Chains A and B, each alone.
Chain A
Amino acid sequence: MDQKKIRFSDTLFCCLFCGFLALMLLGYLMLPKTLFSQREKRYLEAAPSFTCERLVSGAFAKDAEDYAADHMPGRDFFVGLNAYLGLALGQQGTKEIYRFSENYLVERPVKWDQEAVERNKKALGVFVQKADTPVDFALIPSAGYILRDLSRGNYMEYRDDQYIRQIYENLPPGVRSLDLIPALTDGGRENFYHTDHHWTSQGAYRAYAAYLAHKGRTPLAPDAFTVRTSQGFYGSTYSRSALWLTPPDRLSIWDPGIQTTVWIADDGSTSQSMFYEERLQEADQYTVFLDGNHSLVRITNPQGTGKLLLIRDSYGNCFAPFLAESYQEVVLVDLRYYKADLGQLLEEGFDHILVLYSLSNYMTDGNVPLLGR
């Protein structure tokens, strides 16, 4: 053996190091494996299948590495630790998410994409030709833009107002734009969640009021709604940021208390309520509104008047229940899932048509051009 005296600090270091590696190895071998990651919204890599051919080709090694990455013991803890290390080193969040003061986790500013804007504009032009009613068009600014006063220090600038104006100024003829920025700036902090990119029911209410005023209708006053609140909502920006210490949101449901029937085309199911409250038990509580994203949804309200077509992204889920108060029928179409012919749908005849997208989805979702199909 070495002549030098063995130091306790050295022994300790060896034990800690080897112990840590051994613990991780044991964790891999013993801990139960989850198949689906709620936070990432994806299936985790399955255990690699072993055959001699796959071993020789290197496919086994590749799969084993992916598997080891997905099923790392304490993965959430480590990912969170890394996110907080980034904050400590002067980053303002993670790759995609900024942390503003008052615990707002918001998406980073959307980047201008000239090509997408041109493509969408063309599609919109084709769509408005097919529809014999005028088309209203509204873009929802991002939470980061509305809450930009809460950014401290070193952030990319939010230019949502500039971008939205630029898009509005170049709309094809027959499309009327609706500016939602004033409505959402009013009481801005309550219009967006801390841990999710969507607008809150209050935010959606303000947009509803602005839209109805735009159409010459009278919106209900806020106190006409029954508000039910659910605690412990952790949304998308929470999962994406991995800043696990952020407190959860409260999610409010504004119920207009009317008789409606909801029909979801995907599975043909109907419901008497627009609010799927069993969803509040799940990780993503936002699906309480109209059961989350579906290709086509019809909400009928015998007390309402007129028929509205709403072409929308997921912000529409929370928004449509307000409109259902005023219209006899609201038809929601999500182009990410709706693969049938829009022209045929238009033949039903609509009194109003609204295309409603968040600016960031409008800029990044490749399905918007399906409008022109």
Chain B
Amino acid sequence: MVFSSNIFLFFYLPTVLALYYLTPRRYRNTLLFLVNLVFYGWGEPVFLLLMLFSILSNYAYGLLIQRYRRQVRAKRMVLVASVVVNLGLLGFFKYADFIAGMMQAVFPFLRTVPLPAIPLPIGISFYVFQTMSYTIDVYRGDAPVQRRLIPFGTYVSLFPQLIAGPIVRYRDVAEQMEDRRESVSQFADGIRRFTVGLGKKILIANQMGLLWDLLREEGSGLGAWIGLTAFAFQIYFDFSGYSDMAIGLGKMLGFTFLENFNYPYISRSITEFWRRWHISLSTWFREYVYIPLGGNRRGLPRQLWNILVVWALTGLWHGASWNFLLWGLYFALLLMIEKLFLLRWLDRAPLWLGHLYTLFFLLMGWALFFFTSLPELWAFLGRLFGGGAVSPEGRVDILGYLPLLLVAVVASTPFGSRVYGRIRDTVWGRYGAVGLGMAALVLCVAALASQSYNPFIYFRF
């Protein structure tokens, strides 16, 4: 089920909210667990088995690690087993085809064997990382073990962040799983966040996607640049909108999740960008890969190697394809260069130069991210740097979407939230937010009613 659908908005959500608040507090986790399974199983019920396996196995690892907490070797054995099983799940469902394809490239005699063609279960990249964070944190003593199955299952399958993040670490919500207090003001906060996210997704991201589709093959240099910018906006508003919706829904149910985006496009370096973009994923890789590898404590060569490893993995996390690996390595290279000298230079350079540099390399990165085939990528880059004049059709498309592009530019900066922060305690601010939120909701429903064009970019990750 996706948030921007009639079934979710008008059937699932009102029913869940009503049931949740009618249920006595002590049964609310049980209720949430059940409705989570409905949410997850809606489109492809068969993957419920996978979800249940994931919950049961990681619940057991947690208990075992706790049990052997004084026996270092046994405890480590359990951890290794849990990591192997979790990564095995991810590897099998997400990378089997990719690896098989690679094997065929290396060993031609394998080409007669058909690829396994395994369907990707929704959200597996997100919940596998969540369950791994749980067992590792319990092993390290950073998180308490969860002895009851229901709250643990509720955590793993929690519907707001289940299929597109953020990746919520168990330690960040451990207390909330046991005891959380819902309130009117938090619920209203949640609605604000949810409507903002829905608006980002439906009113901006989807439209930017249409513009990108229109301009991708248009042929002119300007068209390619604006198209690529539209794609950069599509992916940001799509993904951060989804995170906003998840955080908002969490608040409606009494949860507080950590932020996942912090206006990434205002960054002045790639290093800064990755502190602002998909924060829960960067945090996960830093916490469970980069620092265990030694981070920056074992000398510069080792640090650079660690960066390379982390970013190769980050790239592959986004999808089982060569271009995602390249995309990760591309950022590894940029981050290494920044670490070596560029950050120091940028600190002294004028502000605009840092922004320009960052945006340029981000756009190149998105081109790499989008095109799964290298010839298509080259053709696009050719248009980007050597394209002709704008065609009449391209001009009409660009001008038609210009107002929305400007909205996207402003909405990707903290301007709006600063203004709101200033007036939030005035009567105008409070009722203005109510009015805007409801208007955004109605307009989103209007767009939903008209557009069948509704693919979530991150839906399959």
Identify the A interface with B (CB < 8 A): 1-2, 4, 6-7, 9-14, 16-18, 20-22, 24-25, 28, 55-58, 61-62, 64-65, 68-69, 72, 75, 78-79, 81-83, 85, 89-92, 154-157, 242
The 8 Å CB contact of B6, one of A1, A2, A65, is: A65
Nearest-CB distance from A300 to chain B (Å)? 47
Is the Cβ of A78 less than 8 Å from the Cβ of B445?
yes
Is the Cβ of B191 less than 8 Å from the Cβ of A154?
no
How far is B44's CA from A68's CA once the two chains are assembled, in angstroms?
18
Given contacts A9-B431, A14-B188, contact A92 B400 (CB under 8 A): yes
Is the Cβ of A78 less than 8 Å from the Cβ of B441?
no
Q: Is the interface of A mostly helix, strand, loop or mixed?
A: helix
The 8 Å CB contact of A2, one of B1, B181, B433, is: B181
Given contacts A2-B186, A61-B43, contact A25 B443 (CB under 8 A): no
The 8 Å CB contact of A7, one of B15, B401, B430, is: B430
Is the Cβ of B42 less than 8 Å from the Cβ of A28?
no
B430 to chain A: which residues have CB within 8 Å? 7, 9-10
Known: A20-B438, A24-B9. 5 other contacts (CB 8 A): A13-B192, A13-B437, A24-B14, A28-B10, A89-B403
Nearest-CB distance from A253 to chain B (Å)? 34
B183 to chain A: which residues have CB within 8 Å? 1-2, 4, 6
The 7 closest A-B pairs by CB, nearest first: A2-B183, A10-B188, A78-B449, A9-B430, A68-B6, A82-B446, A81-B446
How far is B447's CA from A215's CA once the two chains are assembled, in angstroms?
52
Is the Cβ of B446 less than 8 Å from the Cβ of A9?
no
The segment from B239-247, B288-296, B299-307, B391-399 found at the interface with A is B391-399
- The total number of A-B Cβ pairs within 8 Å is 138
Identify the B interface with A (CB < 8 A): 1, 5-7, 9-11, 13-15, 17, 42-46, 181, 183-188, 191-192, 195, 392-393, 396, 399-404, 430-431, 433-434, 437-438, 441-443, 445-452
Is the Cβ of A10 less than 8 Å from the Cβ of B393?
no
Q: List 16 A-B contacts (CB under 8 A).
A: A4-B183, A4-B185, A10-B185, A11-B184, A13-B434, A16-B438, A17-B191, A21-B10, A21-B14, A65-B6, A81-B443, A82-B443, A82-B449, A89-B404, A154-B400, A156-B396
Is the Cβ of B46 less than 8 Å from the Cβ of A56?
yes
Which residue of chain B has its CB nearest to the CB of A91?
A: B400
Which residue of chain A has its CB nearest to the CB of B431?
A: A9
How far is B396's CA from A7's CA once the two chains are assembled, in angstroms?
47
How far is B402's CA from A92's CA once the two chains are assembled, in angstroms?
13
How far is B124's CA from A113's CA once the two chains are assembled, in angstroms?
44
Nearest-CB distance from A33 to chain B (Å)? 14
How far is B399's CA from A91's CA once the two chains are assembled, in angstroms?
9
A17 to chain B: which residues have CB within 8 Å? 191, 195, 437-438, 441
A92 to chain B: which residues have CB within 8 Å? 400
Given contacts A2-B185, A13-B192, A156-B393, contact A82 B447 (CB under 8 A): yes
B186 to chain A: which residues have CB within 8 Å? 2
B9 to chain A: which residues have CB within 8 Å? 21, 24
The 8 Å CB contact of A68, one of B7, B43, B446, is: B7
How far is B188's CA from A75's CA once the two chains are assembled, in angstroms?
27
Is the Cβ of B45 less than 8 Å from the Cβ of A56?
yes
How far is B441's CA from A134's CA once the two chains are assembled, in angstroms?
62
Which residue of chain B has its CB nearest to the CB of A55?
A: B45
How far is B45's CA from A157's CA once the two chains are assembled, in angstroms?
49
Is the Cβ of A85 less than 8 Å from the Cβ of B392?
no
Nearest-CB distance from A18 to chain B (Å)? 7
A69 to chain B: which residues have CB within 8 Å? 6, 449, 452
How far is B195's CA from A21's CA once the two chains are assembled, in angstroms?
13
